[in-house]
Structure 1
Amino acid sequence: MRGTRRLTARQVATTTEPGLYADGDGLYLRVSPAGTRGWIYRYQIGGRRRDMGLGRTAEVSLARARELAGEARALVRDGRDPIEAREAARAATAAEAAARAAPVHTVRAAAEALLAVRRPGWSSPKSAQAWEATLGRYVYPVIGDLDVAAVDTEAVLRVLTPLWAEVPETASRVRGRLEAILDYARVREWRGGDNPARWRGHLDHLLARPHDLAPVRHHRAVPWRAMPAVWQQVRAADGLGARALELVILTACRVGEVRWARWDEIDREARLWVIPAERMKARRAHRVPLTAPALDLLRRRWARRIERGPGAELVFPGQRRGRPISDMTLTTTCRRLGLPAVPHGFRSSFRDWAAETTAESHEVCEAALAHAPRDRVVAAYQRGDLLDRRRRLMDAWAAYLAGEGDGAAGS
C-alpha cells in the first residue's frame, strides 16, 4: 500500500505501478499488474475485512468513487454489509426486469385456456356456454383484465360480494368456477400461493354459507330447461288467457304491458311493438322486437278482433268494455295447465336462460326486460335501447322455445 495522503485526479490518471493507493476513509485506488486501475472500498463488518469493488477509473471518477465509498460507509455504520446490500438490489432489479419481460396471463386468458382443456370432455356445448355466460357477466367486468398472478382475496370479494346475498346460488357457482381458473393457473405456474377463491378455511370465514342465506322472494318461475315443453303446452291450450301467456313468454314483457297491448302500438312491418312511456314501470317508451312466432300470434288475434265497438283497440279485450282481460285470467290459465309458476315468473325463466346459455351482455339482457340501469353513470352513457342486439336475443329465445337447437345468442 502506497501513501496516506488524499489522491488527486492526476495521480489517478497517471499511476501505473501495481499496488493499493489510499485516498482515506477506506477508499483505495488499485492498480493491477496488467496496468488496470480500479476503485475498492475496504471495510470491516462482523469481525472480518472485506473489499468492495466500485468500478474502473475509466467509468468512475475520483469524485464519484468518494461518493460511492461514503454510501457504503453509511451502510456499515448501520450494521449492514454494503456488498450484500448491493447484491440484493441487483437481484430485485433483475426480478423486476424478468417480470416485465414475462408474458401477462390475465384472468380472462386463463379462463379461456381452461375452457379449451375442459370443453372436449363435456357432453353438451351448453356447459361451456354456461361457464362463458357467468364469467362474462360477473367476473370479466371486474377482474377479467387483471394479471392472474395478482388476484388476491380482495379481488375475489369484489366479484362475489355484490352477488352473495342477492343470488347466492349463482354466486356460489361463480366462486367455484373462479377457484378452478386459479387452480389451473397455479398448475401452469402462472401464479403461486394459496387459492384466494377457495371456500374451506378461507372464504367461509368471510362470507355467509349460501344455504344459510334467506332466499330473495321471487315470482314462482318455470326452470328455463323446461320452457320448450311448457311453451308447447301453452300454445296448444284454448282461451284468450293462453294467447296472452304466449305473448308474455315470447316477449318477456310484464303481464300488465301485455294485457293492455293496443293495436296502434304494433308495427307488424317493422316487427316492433312500441309501448308508450305512461304504461312502462320505468316511465320511458319501450321498443319490443317481435319474433316470427309473436307476429304469427298477432296475425291470428287480428283476424279474430272485434270489428266494431269499444274494446276493438285492445289486443286482448276483456268482457268489460274498454278493459283488457284480467290478471286472474292469466293466473287461472297457469293453474288450469298445471304450471308451477305465476305469469310474471316467465320473465325470470327468460332471464335465467339468457344468463346460462348466451354470451350476450348484462346490459342487453336487462334492456330486454325493460330494466333501467341501476348505475347512474351507465344510464348516462347508455342512450340507445340496444334494439338490434335485443332482436337477436329474442329470436334466439323463440328458437329455443321451438326446440330449434339451444337457441344460443351472442356467441
Structure 2
Amino acid sequence: MGKLTALKVKALTEPGSYVDGDGLMLVIGSGGAARWKLRAMIAGKRRDIGVGSLKVLSLADARAKAAELRRQIALGLDPIAERKKIVDPIPTFKEAAGRVDEEQKASWKNGKHQDQWISTLTTYAFPKLGKRLVSEIEGPLIREVLLPIWLSKPETARRVRQRIAAVLDWSYAKGYRPTEAPLRSLSKALPRQPRKDGHFAALPFTDVPALIERLRERSAAGRLALEALILTAARSGEIRGARWSEVDLDAALWSIPAERMKMGRMHHVPLSAQALDVFRRAEALRVPCSDLVFPGQRPKNPLSDMTLLKVMRDMKTGVTVHGFRSAFRDWVAEETSYPGEVAEAALAHSIPNKVEAAYRRTDFLSKRRALMADWGAFCLKVADVDGAQGNAAATEN
C-alpha cells in the first residue's frame, strides 16, 4: 500500500519529493510543476526514470505505469534504452552505413576514397548485412561476408572488414548496439592471408630516364600528368588535382593547399627546368573553362586515377604509379649526398619524432630546389651545372 492518497496528492503544493513506495515518488518543482519519477536499480546502478506529469497521470495511473517499468527491469531490460528505441529506432546496417558515409566524407581528402567507401560495402556487405539491424550483427555473420573474398581478394577483404567495423563502432557510440565491432574474435575465425611485400612496385631509378623518353613519344594529358608526377615526386591525387591557381611559373613554384595534402599542411614544390617544361606544355593545352592543369575528358573534372594506371599498363612497366616516389627516394639515397630529411620534405612525409616535429620550422625549400633540379637533370640525362653545384653544397652541409 502506497503512502500517498489521491486527496493528499491533490493537496500537495510545496516544492520537494513525496515518496509513495517501491521507488515511486512525486516531485514538485519550484515553479509548481509536478511529475512522477521512479527510482530503481538497473544493472547495479541507481537510475531515476521519468514516469509522467501529474497533469496527465493520476496516482493510480502512475502506480500502474511504475509497475510496468519494474516488470521491464525484472526481465533485464533498461526502460530508458527501450524508450529511446522508440524515439530513435535502431537502424539497419545499410541505413547506418549511409549515415556514417555522410558524416565522414567531408573529412576524406581523396575523392576516389569517397566514392569507393560506400560502393565497397554495397557490393560485398549489403547483400548479407544490409537489412539486418546493427544490434544483431556479430562475428559469425561478418565472417560469412568476408570468407568468400578473404583469400582471393585479400586487400579488398581487409577494406570491407575495416568499413564494417567503422559502421558498427559508430553504432556502438550512438547507443544502437551493446558492443563495438568484434574484430579480435573475427581475426581468429578467418584463415591467415599470405604475406606480401608491403612496398609499392617501383621502377628502378636507373630506368626512369628511359621511361620518360617513352612517355614523350606521344602527347596526351595522361602522359603529361605522369611525367609531371615523376619530376615533382608528387602523389597521384596531388598531380591530378593540380590547378593553375596553385602554380607560379615565373617563380618555378607549385603550392599545394593543405586541404589537398595527405598530412593536411600546405606543401611547396620547387619546379625544376624539366618540370617547368611539362607545365608549359600542359599550359598550351589549357581549356578556358577549367582551372585544372591536367583536366579529364570532361574539362572541369580531373583525370581519373585509372588514366595514369592505363598509361603504365599500356607501356607494360609492371610497376605502380605511386612507386615513382620510391624510385626518387632510392635515387636520393644511392646517388646523392642530400640529407634524408630534405628528401622526406620533398615527399611531404610527416616527421615521426613528435619532439622534432614540434620544433622544426623549415621545409628546406632552398635545398629542395637544388635537389629537384638534380632529379630533373637525372631523369632527362641533361647536364645541369646549377644542380650539380646544389648537390655539392648539400655534401658540404
Q: TM-score range by the shorter chain?
A: 0.3 to 0.5
TM-score (norm. length: structure 2): 0.47
TM-score (norm. length: structure 1): 0.46
